[in-house]
Amino acid sequence: MNYPAPSILLPNRPLLISLLAVLLSACSDPAAVNTAEVIAPETISVETRVLHYQDWQGNIQTFGAVEATEEIRLSLDFSATVYAVRVDEGEPVKIGQLLIEMEQEKPRLRLQQASELALRAKAALDEAFLNLQRRKKLAELKTVSREILDNAELAVQRAQADYRQALATRQLAEKELAESRILSPVNGVVDVRAVETGQSVLAGTTLMTLQATEALQVQTWVSEKDIARISTGARAITILSSQPGTQLKGQVKSVGINAHPATGNFPVEVIIEEQAELARPGMTAQVTIEGLTIANVLLLPEAALVDRNRRRVVYLLRDGLAVEVEPLLSVGLADRIIILSGLSEGDRLITSNLERIINGSRISTAKDAITQ
């Protein structure tokens, strides 16, 4: 049986010719090709902060209970020699009055040595970091072995550890020098004068006992991480659970040298100096203690860090483009992190729209902010 051949529907001949003419014209027109291929890159509007060296002082928050203050024993957590005792037994004293001076020549020398050590450690870290960056570039060109790159990375890690140790040593030396002048933490009376001029004393030895005449204190506990940042005489704010909107000013009376065996936390006593009449023994309270100052450091806002390929990086604004940098960082301080290496004073740090930014993104920005 013969079947009829299937019919093929063709477009209208004039219409087909017109379409072909348009396509051929587009292909032969260079301007049309360039317009299709060239797409203007997106410009991302961001906020930036300018890095600069600054002194940082953090606060430590903890909880405790109010208790009566009757007797105050003054001591040091390091060995020293008594240079002068400025008060006698039975003598009234006021808050902030100088009671005892310890010999200061050795603490000053230790601080000078620690500062010089920190400078050398920082220079060594910078050199190791630059060497690592060179090795990484050579590794990308496959001109150095993996072993050489690994050694460079280990050198940076060692230099980083040395610098952290040097900073800690300097901080301890600063603390020792600051505490070599013992001031009265309360208004009271000298009960026992336990040392004399020229006497050598060990850490923890009672130097003087005061009887408080108008004070309450808060007994609280501080973690091992924060205890090194607290010193005797540091300013403190107490907020009673019964008075949530009222701040009671005071200062640290003593910092314990032995941790609690069960918790590992260290005892800290804070004197309430103002509005003590609002407090009663047994009340619970939140205490904010002013920590030691870390001098002359670059601080990175933690919010500026982003994760890229399992690396924590930041983006700098340079010549209108985003430049990816992986800095070396130290400990975190509240919402700031100490920059060890990789960033410099004056760098413009991008702080917004980070989720849209990659290395080389075109950037526009308003006026810079200064890191605080």
Could you give phi then psi for residue 122, rounded to 5 degrees?
A: -65, -40
In the chain the domains, ranked by start, together with CATH numbers, are 43-55+297-370 (2.40.420.20), 73-102+180-211 (2.40.50.100), 106-177 (1.10.287)
The strand pairing partners of 66, in sequence order, are 218
- The answer to whether the beta carbons of residues 326 and 315 sit under 8 Å apart is no
Q: Cα–Cα distance between 221 and 236 in angstroms, integer?
A: 14
- pLDDT for residue 38: 53
Kindly give the pairing relationship between strand 98-102 and strand 181-183: antiparallel
Q: Which residue has the tokens 């020229």?
A: 198
Q: How many residues does the chain have?
A: 372
- Give the three-class secondary structure for 313: strand
Q: 62: Cβ–Cβ under 8 A, 6 or more apart, which residues?
A: 220, 221, 222, 268, 286, 287, 289
Could you give phi then psi for residue 200, rounded to 5 degrees?
A: -90, 135
Residue 222 structure tokens: 């501080």
Residue 124 structure tokens: 């060594």
State pTM to two decimals: 0.42
- pLDDT for residue 7: 44
How would you write the pLDDT of the chain (372 residues) with one tens digit per residue? Answer: 444 444 444 444 544 445 445 444 545 555 444 544 556 678 999 999 999 998 877 788 899 998 877 788 899 888 889 999 999 998 888 888 999 998 888 888 888 898 899 999 999 999 999 988 888 888 777 777 888 888 888 998 999 999 999 998 888 888 888 888 899 988 878 889 999 999 999 988 999 998 776 778 899 999 887 887 888 889 999 999 998 889 999 999 999 989 999 999 999 999 998 887 788 778 899 999 988 777 888 888 888 999 998 899 999 999 999 999 999 987 666 567 888 899 999 999 999 999 999 999 999 986 555 555
* CA dihedral for 103, 107, 108, 109, sign (positive or negative): positive
Residue 314 structure tokens: 């930041």
